[in-house]
Amino acid sequence: MTVGNSRARRRPPSPTQLRAFTAVAEHLHFRDAAAAVGMSQPALSGAVAALEEVLGVTLLERTTRKVLLSPAGERLVVRARAVLDEMDALMEEAEAVRAPFTGALRLGVIPTVAPYLLPTVLRLVHERYPQLDLQVHEEQTAGLVDGLHTGRLDLLLLAVPLGVPGVVELPLFDEDFVLVTPLGHELGGREGIAREALRELNLLLLDEGHCLRDQALDICREAGRGDAPVTTTAAGLSTLVQLVAGGLGCTLLPRTAVTVETSRSTQLLTGAFADPAPARRVALAMRTGAARGAEYRELADALREALRPLPVRVLGDGGDERRAGG
């Protein structure tokens, strides 16, 4: 027990002491070692002596003519060099972390955004931030928000508002919803469709848990549909559109998804709603006080510019930032 307490009280060596010792071990000459590490010879001798005191062993055998490593010095110099190598690696890693847009960025994306926006996101990161290790995770909103809170994810790309405490939303764009119908439907191909038309439609929606389902139901309620039952649901937009092509009903698609999803079938038509058309807002979301917050805001600015060719209404930057619950 006494030995353990003695070890617990013993102070660790300093980097200066370790560097002085390894320099002497390499050069076996105090003057040359001092010059190599940029110290005066007395300072270097003092650092080595202090290290011997801290460790409680003799590291060097000194004579008037030469310096040799003691048996203990031969063993411990290997450890000392390893410690210094790890310290250098620590400083290099810290430098890399301080550099913007380097290291890993774990991005969570909802399924109704991922297939349509990821090509733009990945191209932007590849061209502008080649040192960034972007890791993409596709999940529904609840899982993404949980991952953000627990630190499993760094940044989210999803529909807002979330209304979640501790999360800052960086809005990117608004996009209209489009009505997708089977061939021959009376609303197929029409412009200026009134929202009230949704009251009587056989509407097909995504399964519960998808925020797009909730948004579609909100639009229906605003149109006066009430809580009319939805008899058919699907796990993804591709399946949903194929059900429409098969004549089972109609659905709502965000405009960014229309080209991809409707190109798979010739049995579909689209219709546009009258202004103001029902729409959703897509944003990046980060933890309040995120260490890389400035970096994420810069990424949001770059992403807004990259998204301009898409059929969306790109939003401004700082003025649109929203902080939920705080």
Q: Are 257 and 178 in contact (CB under 8 A)?
A: no
**Mean pLDDT score, 32-59:** 94
pLDDT over threshold 70, residue 125: yes
Domains 2-98 and 103-173+280-324 share a fold: no
pLDDT over threshold 50, residue 6: no
- Predicted local distance difference test score (pLDDT) of residue 65: 75
What pLDDT, in 10s, does the model give residues 63-95? 767 889 999 999 999 999 999 989 888 887 776
CATH assignment of 103-173+280-324, given 3.50.30.30, 3.40.190.10, 3.40.640.10, 3.60.20.30? 3.40.190.10
Query: What number does CATH give the domain 2-98?
Result: 1.10.10.10
DSSP class of residue 129 equals -
State the pTM of this model: 0.71
Answer with the residue of higher pLDDT: 135 or 5. 135
pLDDT over threshold 90, residue 310: yes
pLDDT over threshold 70, residue 303: yes
The residue ranges of every structural domain in the chain are 2-98, 103-173+280-324, 176-272
Per-residue burial over 43-62, b = 16 or more CB atoms within 10 Å of its CB, e = otherwise: ebbebbebbbeebeeebbee
